[in-house]
Amino acid sequence: MKVGKHSRFPGLNSTLIKLFSFGFILISFAFQGISQDFILKGIVTDKLTKEPIENVYVAWGNKETALTNHLGEFNIRISRFPAKLALSHVSYGLKEIKLNKKPSAPFYIRLDPSISKIDEVQVSGERLRILTKNKGYSIQDFAFDNNSLWFLGHINNQANQQRLFLANLYGDTLKSIQVNRAQKLYEDVFGGVHLFLRDSVYQLFSREDTILLLYGMSKKRFQI
């Protein structure tokens, strides 16, 4: 039996078309709900001077990252709310903000400058034994940031046990991570500390119970 304009069931065609259309609409809405992302637009400024801050690293989890331009502006893709953003900058430290809902317009984030005073610190072998909890530790390099000490070296002089330590000004270990083929530590003019690996350079930050390596770039580009 053919189903067409001469069908014995004239209402069958229209019913099938309606059902098909309704199913297509449902599928379209479902895919929109899954793939619909939101481009979050923000502006980062200095809380005291109100000036825009360039080169602020903005991250949403481990999925999306952005860097502010010379006007302090950034765009980052967010797929759900509430969303937590992590911001970091060599002169402003680390800051986390939580957005419970989607902003209706570009929003401002104001950062406090990271200002601290470091008294004279004497690094000694005795203090390093306290730092490394009495383990044999050969120092390869060390550097200071605004309020901490960074140490790079090897446990028991083993090449495969290279570690990066963060300590306070009293020499107490705060945290450490294992690194591989790190060459040296470098302190820039802003007080930020960078870790040189064989082919790349990372800026060092401390957050909660871990050490973050951010702003990765090639050694050649960093040294320009």
Give the whole-angstrom CA distance, residue 217 versus residue 161.
24
- Provide the pLDDT confidence category of residue 41 given band limits of 50, 70 and 90: very high
Is the pLDDT at 72 greater than 90? The verdict is yes
Question: Residue type at 3?
Answer: V
CA proximity to 70, closest of 56, 50, 91, 87: 56
What's the pLDDT score for residue 13?
Answer: 56
- Provide the pLDDT confidence category of residue 108 given band limits of 50, 70 and 90: very high
Going by DSSP bridges, is the β-strand pair 107-111/38-46 parallel, antiparallel, or unpaired?
Answer: parallel
The residue written with tokens 């090897």 in the block is: 154
- Provide the pLDDT confidence category of residue 165 given band limits of 50, 70 and 90: confident
What's the pLDDT score for residue 64?
Answer: 85
Is the pLDDT at 155 greater than 70? The verdict is yes
Is the pLDDT at 3 greater than 70? The verdict is no
| Higher pLDDT among residues 125 and 188, named by residue | 188
| Higher pLDDT among residues 111 and 115, named by residue | 111
What's the pLDDT score for residue 55?
Answer: 84
| Higher pLDDT among residues 99 and 207, named by residue | 99
Is the pLDDT at 136 greater than 80? The verdict is no
DSSP lists the bridge partners of residue 110 as 45
Which whole number is the average pLDDT over 15-39?
52
Strands of the 83-89 sheet, one edge to the other: 64-67, 57-60, 83-89, 93-99
Is the pLDDT at 215 greater than 50? The verdict is yes
Give the whole-angstrom CA distance, residue 132 versus residue 147.
19
pTM above 0.75, yes or no: no
- Provide the pLDDT confidence category of residue 70 given band limits of 50, 70 and 90: very high
Write down all domains in the chain, each with its CATH number in brackets. Answer: 40-111 (2.60.40.1120), 125-222 (2.40.10)
- Joined together, the tokens standing for residue 147 give 């309020």
Structure letter (DSSP) for residue 48: T
DSSP lists the bridge partners of residue 184 as 196
